[in-house]
């Protein structure tokens, strides 16, 4: 139960954040989607032993969260929730790759630990990028970007439908499961004999609802197409946003700023 | 079995996106040709249903643990393969965006792994074949169970292959396979049991819903040949082309860089770089400590392994990392501070206006 309520709240919080009016929210959704794609590609293209080069990429989420007024804690918490699979697969790296790769004055670190850490950083950064995209853009505007990217309309329409009805159906599922749990205390979930009837009833109700929705839409002149309002045009600031970030990503990919700073600092300090 | 962005290479991610986009384009065309507009809301609402019902905990008898519904095979049974595939794709997209369940770059992999095998392999070749002899409780049970298990097994195998080709983890192929397949056998059995329970219930109460979908009356049947052609084409790309990339060019950007400029990395030979390097060397007290290892380190990153990074480079690497993070945080704090000041000014000016 808590799971359903929590999931709905998660969507709602991001939905509300996307409604803010900040400089990041005002950037054209297409450019935000494209910048996110470039960011993800550049990050995953890093070598598996690379750590220092990745650190410069943290600037992007920090700047976007600051400018877009996205709470750091919320994104961080969500990111941690998304990491287990990466940890599950990556934790084998230290076991299989035991060759010493880094020698510190006080310790020796194997390649496996370095690649594991690199994987975690990549995982964290890529998850954060996706969350920031949705938190500063919102589903309807991402759909707008998809439309410009020539994603088939039928898919976009269906995506928006699914998104809209998640709230309705998840609440219905929540109510049903709550009702069930009140009648069957000490049960952790739905008992085997009720799997079919409970989920099946929900499914039948869903199908009836789909029918009613279609009829309501048909009455309002739905002919299989969504009629959207006027779309925002891509402006100069949007293009600059894309070029600026892309240039930064490619620059820090090929010039390891972190290492340069490190060499400079250790050189000066010593 | 959601693949994460961090676990895939750009080449694997890109190829799987292309494969998924190809299948989605085919499915879209199919849906557009064979569906009336009535079915779009149905697909949307069914997507939301699968999303919501994934949150229900089903108690597994005799184990004390609980399982969940995946929904791929259920969508294929209720909507047909094309509409089912598109619906599952949108569910996975929403999960990736809002719940960090699999990344955006890995979304192509995830849609393929969870949608293609269930909708375009398990459904037409197992479920539909079995139901062609007519519906019965037994056939629904066997057909759904086998479809769910095979769909998940193929998906899990795909995850292993994609991870292996990406080369981001050290997990040996056989070990990963030995971990993934049995886990997904268990998940597949639960998925099969839940789906059977639902399909069987709906069939008992409203047989026309299940039977119409399978015959293709409501949603149209599908020519599997074209889909298989797309699949085979991409299998060739992945099997042939990709394995070559994966071994000789682990880094897609470096590969494209090599083709664009003839070099794998940009060389810093410009006068500006040289001047800066000279300045750097002068102001560093122990230039040898940090700088001379750059060749070693470059070799280490190029080979992706073997070269040991010595203490000097490591220490400067750590210091640099810490400084970069600090710098990034400072920039963030600065922006926050400026925003607060601006907001304060705005409130003051509004009060003055009043």
DSSP string, B57-81: PEEPTTTS-EE----HHHHHHHH-H
Q: Residue A69's domain spans which residues? A: 10-151+231-260
Determine what percent of chain A is predicted with pLDDT higher than 90: 38
ipTM of predicted complex: 0.87
Q: Do A206 and A243 fall into the same domain? A: no
- Decide if A55 and B283 are in contact by the 8 Å CB cutoff: no
Q: For residue B314, give the nearest of A62, A65, A52, A42 by alpha carbon.
A: A52
Do A120 and A214 belong to one domain?
A: no
Cα–Cα–Cα angle for A159, A157, B38, rounded to 5 degrees:
110
Are the beta carbons of B194 and B67 closer than 8 angstroms? yes
Domain contains A5: no
Band of residue B100 on the pLDDT scale cut at 50, 70, 90: confident
Q: Are residues A82 and A166 in the same domain?
A: no
Task: Please list every residue in chain A whose beta carbon sits closer than 8 Å to the beta carbon of residue B168.
Answer: 48, 115, 119
B57–A214 C-beta distance less than 8 A: no
Portion of chain A with pLDDT greater than 70, in percent:
96
What's the domain count of chain A? 2
Judged against a pLDDT cut of 70, whether residue A264 lies above it is answered with: yes
Q: Are residues A147 and A162 in the same domain?
A: no
Say which residue the tokens 């998850």 belong to.
A127
Q: What pLDDT, in 10s, does the model give residues B269-295? A: 455 555 544 554 444 433 333 333 443
Which alpha helices (DSSP H) does B39-136 contain, by range?
39-53, 72-79, 81-99, 107-111, 128-131
pLDDT band at A161 (very low <50, low <70, confident <90, very high): confident
- Closest-approach residue (CA) in chain B for A122: B6
Cβ of residue B93 closer than 8 Å to a chain A Cβ: yes
**pLDDT tens track for B52-67:** 888 888 888 777 777 7
B290/A266 Cβ within 8 A: yes
Closest CA to A176 of A197, A193, A156: A197
- Please say if the pLDDT value at position B35 is more than 80: no
In a domain? residue A75: yes
> What is the CA angle A179-B65-A82, rounded to 5?
90
Better-predicted residue by pLDDT, B73 or B68: B73
Within this chain, do residues A17 and A79 fall inside the same structural domain, yes or no?
Answer: yes
A15 plus A94 within the same structural domain: yes
Interface of A with B in 147-166 (CB under 8 A): 152, 154-155, 157-166
Write out residues 198-257 of B within 8 Å (CB-CB) of A: 198, 200-202, 205-206, 209, 250-254
- Exposure letters B275-298 (e unless 16+ CB within 10 A, then b): eeeeebeeebeebebbbebeeebe
Domain shared by A111 and A235, yes or no: yes
Helices A153-183 and B39-53: angle between axes, nearest 10 degrees: 40
Enclosing domain of residue B130: 5-353
Q: How far apart are CA B46 and CA A69, in angstroms?
A: 34
- Enumerate the residues of chain A whose CB falls inside 8 A of the CB of residue B323: 258, 261-262, 265
Q: Is the pLDDT of residue B337 over 60?
A: yes
Interstrand relation of B58-59 and A100-104 (parallel, antiparallel or unpaired):
unpaired
- As a whole number of angstroms, the longest Cα–Cα distance in chain B is 85
SS3 A101: strand
Same domain, A168 and A221: yes
pLDDT band at A232 (very low <50, low <70, confident <90, very high): confident
DSSP string, B240-270: IIIHHHHHH---HHHHHHHHHHSSSS----S
For the entire predicted model, the pTM comes to 0.79
Q: Does B261 touch chain A (CB under 8 A)?
A: no
Instruction: Specify if A50 maps to a domain.
Output: yes
Clarify whether residues A188 and A254 are in a common domain. Answer: no
List, for residues B1-26, the tens digit of each pLDDT value: 788 898 899 999 999 999 999 999 99
Together in a domain, A209 and A136: no
Nearest to B320 among A92, A142, A262 (CB): A262
**Rounded average pLDDT over B247-265:** 40
Is the same domain home to A21 and A120?
A: yes
The count of structural domains within chain B is 1
| Residue B351, pLDDT score | 67
Q: What is residue B225's predicted lDDT score, i.e. its pLDDT?
A: 56
CB proximity list for B341: less than 8 A, separation 6 or greater:
none
Number of C-beta neighbours around residue B17 at 10 A: 19
Q: What is the CATH number of the domain that holds B153?
A: 1.10.1760.20
B126: pLDDT strictly greater than 70: yes
Q: Clarify whether residues A72 and A201 are in a common domain.
A: no
Q: Left if phi > 0, otherwise alpha if psi is -120 to 50, otherwise beta: which for A232?
A: beta
Residues of B in contact with A85 (CB under 8 A): 2, 4, 7
Query: Does A265 reside within a domain?
Result: no
């Amino acid at each position: 139960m808590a799971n359903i309520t929590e999931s709905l709240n998660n969507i709602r919080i991001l939905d509300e954040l996307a409604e803010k009016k900040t400089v990041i929210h005002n950037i054209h959704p297409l450019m935000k989607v494209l910048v996110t794609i470039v960011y993800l590609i550049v990050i995953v293209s890093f070598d598996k032993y690379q750590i220092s080069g990745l650190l410069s990429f943290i600037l992007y989420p920090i700047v976007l969260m600051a400018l877009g007024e996205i709470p750091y804690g919320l994104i961080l918490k969500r990111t941690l929730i998304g990491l287990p699979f990466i940890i599950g697969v990556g934790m084998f790296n230290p076991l299989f790759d035991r060759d010493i790769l880094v020698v510190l004055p006080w310790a020796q670190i194997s390649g496996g630990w370095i690649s594991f850490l690199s994987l975690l950083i990549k995982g964290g950064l890529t998850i954060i990028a996706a969350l920031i995209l949705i938190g500063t853009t919102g589903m309807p505007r991402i759909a707008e970007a998809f439309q410009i990217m020539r994603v088939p309309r039928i898919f976009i329409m269906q995506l928006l439908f699914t998104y809209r009805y998640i709230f309705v159906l998840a609440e219905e599922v929540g109510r049903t499961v709550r009702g069930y749990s009140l009648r069957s205390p000490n049960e952790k979930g739905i008992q085997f004999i009720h799997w079919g009837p409970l989920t099946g009833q929900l499914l039948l109700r869903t199908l009836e609802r789909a029918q009613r929705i279609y009829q309501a839409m048909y009455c309002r002149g739905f002919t299989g197409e969504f009629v959207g309002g006027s779309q925002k045009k891509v402006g100069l600031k949007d293009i600059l946003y894309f070029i600026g970030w892309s240039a930064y990503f490619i620059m820090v990919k090929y010039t390891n700023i972190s290492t340069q700073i490190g060499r400079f600092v250790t050189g000066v300090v010593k | 079995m959601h693949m994460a962005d961090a676990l895939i290479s750009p080449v694997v991610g890109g190829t799987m996106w292309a494969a998924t986009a190809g299948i989605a384009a085919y499915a879209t065309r199919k849906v557009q040709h064979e569906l009336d507009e009535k079915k779009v809301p149905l697909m949307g609402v069914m997507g939301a249903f699968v999303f919501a019902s994934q949150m229900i905990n089903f108690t597994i008898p005799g184990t004390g643990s609980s399982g969940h519904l995946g929904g791929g095979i259920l969508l294929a049974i209720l909507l047909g393969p094309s509409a089912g595939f598109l619906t599952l794709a949108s569910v996975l997209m929403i999960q990736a965006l809002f719940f960090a369940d699999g990344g955006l770059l890995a979304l192509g992999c995830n849609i393929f792994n969870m949608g293609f095998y269930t909708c375009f392999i398990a459904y037409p070749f197992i479920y539909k074949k079995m139901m062609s002899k007519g519906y019965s409780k037994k056939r629904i049970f066997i057909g759904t169970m086998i479809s769910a298990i095979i769909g998940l097994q193929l998906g899990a195998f795909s995850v292993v292959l994609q991870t292996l080709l990406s080369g981001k983890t050290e997990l040996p192929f056989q070990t990963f396979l030995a971990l993934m397949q049995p886990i997904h056998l268990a998940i597949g059995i639960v998925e099969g049991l839940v789906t059977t329970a639902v399909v069987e219930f709906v069939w008992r109460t409203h047989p026309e819903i299940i039977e119409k979908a399978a015959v293709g009356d409501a949603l149209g049947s599908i020519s599997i040949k074209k889909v298989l052609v797309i699949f085979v084409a991409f299998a060739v790309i992945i099997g042939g082309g990709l394995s070559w990339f994966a071994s000789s060019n682990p880094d897609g950007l470096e590969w494209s860089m090599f083709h664009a400029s003839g070099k794998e990395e940009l060389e810093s030979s410009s006068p500006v770089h040289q001047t800066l390097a000279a300045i750097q060397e002068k102001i560093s007290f122990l230039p040898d400590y940090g700088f001379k290892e750059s060749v070693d380190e470059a070799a280490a990153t190029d080979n992706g392994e073997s070269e040991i990074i010595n203490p000097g480079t490591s220490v400067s690497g750590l210091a640099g990392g810490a400084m970069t993070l600090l710098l990034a945080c400072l920039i963030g704090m600065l922006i926050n501070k400026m925003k607060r000041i601006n907001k304060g000014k705005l409130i003051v000016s509004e009060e003055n206006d009043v």
